[in-house]
Structure 1
Amino acid sequence: MALEKIDVSKIMANYGFHEVNEFQLISQGLNDTYLVSIKNDNQFILRVYRPKWRNVNEINFELELLMHLQRKGFSLSTPISKKDGTLINEVIVNGINRIAVLFTFVQGEPFLVNEENSYLFGRKVAQFHTLTEDFQSKYDRFDIDLEHLIDRPLITIKPFLKQRPSDWIYLKTLGEKLKEQVLKLSLNHLDWGICHGDLGNGNVHFYQKNLTFFDFDCCGVGWRGYDIAVYRWDTKKSGEPNSEEDKIWEAFLKGYKEIKHLRAIDLNIVPLFVSIRQLWWMGLHMSNGDVWGLDWINDDYFDRTIQFLREWESNYLV
């Protein structure tokens, strides 16, 4: 159930804003996102977190990370303090207590995926990884590890493939193979640290030649190789080789390497993490059926998503 204007007005009053001109629900995804306009056309983003998706400690970790990056001069959407200096609001939605946080509005649009912009994005991602090297939080947050990326998604996916047993066997076998190949590596030598977790162009706005990050809801501590693999996955239309997509990826890597050293071991693991990302993404869809519905999780969906995995495995995993 969406917030009413009276709910939004009460929240905005905590910041000293007493006139809400307009508000609209612009996204009902993992959390509910509202665009709020007050007098003088000032705009803000109000995120209302889902209680079963993120707990208060995990939210506080995310907010601390954003404030850390802001202090370092990184361009991103940041939480706004209330008059009492705190960041979190509590609101009752349909009888359920939820947490709401007000964020700065980011102008611009998702960047056009091409070589020039991917190069700039690579530099920005490397800057993000560099600036979070010294970040520490007193709050707990999940690790973006193999349990998070493979084990739990497969548990979620399994019931949906009762009528497609051969596909379930393929996914289960692939998951085991991917885990085995990752664990063969010297994990202590992989770059491990703060990750955004969802580095696609949809979570970055391009405005006046500047890139600004937002939506750190999937952030956590994990392998940086996974973090950059998300962009490789995000810019692939299929698991087949494509020279234009390869150029976009190389431009991203060029930009990244100009800011932060990328070791061979972290680059070489990217193909594994692309497959792992696809598994995680599928599990995400099925674990959030209460929000997005499940009618679209059908044969066509599995034909497309599993075809990508088979193609990628055939062409990029050896």
Structure 2
Amino acid sequence: MTNIRVKHTLIDERSILELLQGYNLGPISRCSFLTRGLNDTYLIITPRKQYIFRVYRYGWRNKEAIQFEIDALQHLKNKTFTISHPIAKRDGTYLNEIDAPEGLRYGMLFSYSQGERPAINARNAQLIGESLGKLHHKTDDFHSEYNRGFKIDLNHLLDEPTAMILPVINKFFGKKVEGDVQEIVENLKTGLRNKELEIGFCHGDFHNHNMHVENGKIEVFDFDGAAMGFRAYDVAVSWWNLLTNYGEKEEECWEAFLKGYSSQRTLAKDDFASLPLLITARRFWLLGTMLQNEDVWGTNWINKQSLELFILQIKTDMIREM
């Protein structure tokens, strides 16, 4: 019999229930697998409350990186910022060690964000902008003794993804197009280096898919991409989401988002000017992340059509930036 190697296992709900015995949750009515992404998410239902249990992907975030995330979430909770926050076990710790076939993984229980994903309209866009402004304001004094393992900087957004992307571009389109893409990357890096950008704690993936709204209040979750870095990147991700997924509402909602953000925090001139560049950087980061994690997204989508769209988007971005 051939010995198999495992990239990623889906842990049975019965094993999750065993891990939950370490918490003061009382009777558990249901544990169900909710969604697979860069991490695996389970919905936990008790007679009184709902929770989220996350199992971190092996090799994606190490223990120290997750401890950084816990510190950030605790900081925001203490500052009364509405988030899905980690729930401690009876022994006061947060992490569960899971001896999975592929290696050591970590699990953590979170509070459940009530409500639903915000529909994109001017009112909600303003609320989302206000929420991001508050998040940045309340983390101005945040620090952690733990090393996150990355920063939201040029290396994370451009250098690392480009190392994954260029060989694929070369494979489908040849050296000429690869060179064109590399030139765009160098122009982005030059443009961003020439700006004095605010550095601080960032959510890293701030858009309406990572929050719920209930009774006019936004609650934010999924800080898996959070780190120290370019604050303007958080703003740019929200704009990227409007441009990419809600084009017909982009102008009105972008104006509303900026109104909300500026009601809580001033966006400096260089930070504002960097936003179009960071939208393009977001495209590189996302494509690189998808290529890096083929056990999440597979490889069927890696084809000439999807890559032509990426090239068109980054070239169109550069025209808008000029």
Find the residue that maps to 1:35 and give its secondary structure. Answer: strand
Matching residue of 1:292: 297
1:163 to 172, 179, 186: 172
Matching residue of 2:12: 4
Find the residue that maps to 2:263 and give its secondary structure. Answer: helix
Q: Distance in 1 between matches of 2:206 and 2:35?
A: 18
Q: Distance in 1 between matches of 2:211 and 2:25?
A: 27
- Shift in Å at residue 291 of structure 1? 2.2
Matching residue of 2:321: 317
Indicate conservation of the 8 Å contact 1:204/1:211, yes or no.
yes
Aligned residue type for 1:175: V
Matching residue of 1:34: 42
Q: TM-score, normalised by structure 1?
A: 0.94
Q: TM-score, normalised by structure 2?
A: 0.92
Matching residue of 1:61: 68
Q: Distance in 2 between matches of 1:243 and 1:105?
A: 32
Q: Distance in 2 between matches of 1:167 and 1:213?
A: 39
Matching residue of 1:305: 310
Indicate conservation of the 8 Å contact 1:9/1:18, yes or no.
no
**In the alignment, structure 1 residue 148 sits paired with structure 2 residue 152:** no
- Shift in Å at residue 41 of structure 1? 5.3
Indicate conservation of the 8 Å contact 1:66/1:79, yes or no.
yes
Q: Percent same amino acid at aligned positions? A: 35
Q: Distance in 1 between matches of 2:112 and 2:245?
A: 33
Indicate conservation of the 8 Å contact 1:46/1:100, yes or no.
yes
1:47 to 43, 54, 61: 54
Note closer, same or farther for the CA distance 1:238–1:50 as it changes in structure 2 (3 Å cut).
closer
- Shift in Å at residue 237 of structure 1? 3.0
Moved over 6 A (4+): none
Consecutive unaligned residues of structure 2, counting only runs of 5 or more, are 1-8
Consecutive unaligned residues of structure 1, counting only runs of 5 or more, are none
2:87 to 72, 80, 89: 80
Note closer, same or farther for the CA distance 1:226–1:195 as it changes in structure 2 (3 Å cut).
same
Indicate conservation of the 8 Å contact 2:201/2:229, yes or no.
yes
Aligned length: 311
- Shift in Å at residue 238 of structure 1? 8.1
Matching residue of 1:182: 192
Q: Distance in 2 between matches of 1:126 and 1:291?
A: 32
2:284 to 279, 283, 290: 279
RMSD of aligned residue pairs (Cα, Å): 1.7
Indicate conservation of the 8 Å contact 1:21/1:37, yes or no.
yes
Deviates most, 1-10 or 264-273: 1-10
Aligned residue type for 1:133: D
Matching residue of 1:97: 104
- Shift in Å at residue 299 of structure 1? 1.5
- Shift in Å at residue 95 of structure 1? 5.2
Indicate conservation of the 8 Å contact 1:2/1:93, yes or no.
no
Aligned residue type for 1:3: I
Deviation track 1:156-175 (CA, whole Å, cap 9, x = no partner) reads: 11222212124322221100
Deviation track 1:36-57 (CA, whole Å, cap 9, x = no partner) reads: 123x152110000112111111
Indicate conservation of the 8 Å contact 2:242/2:249, yes or no.
no
Q: Distance in 1 between matches of 2:248 and 2:166?
A: 35
Indicate conservation of the 8 Å contact 1:191/1:224, yes or no.
yes
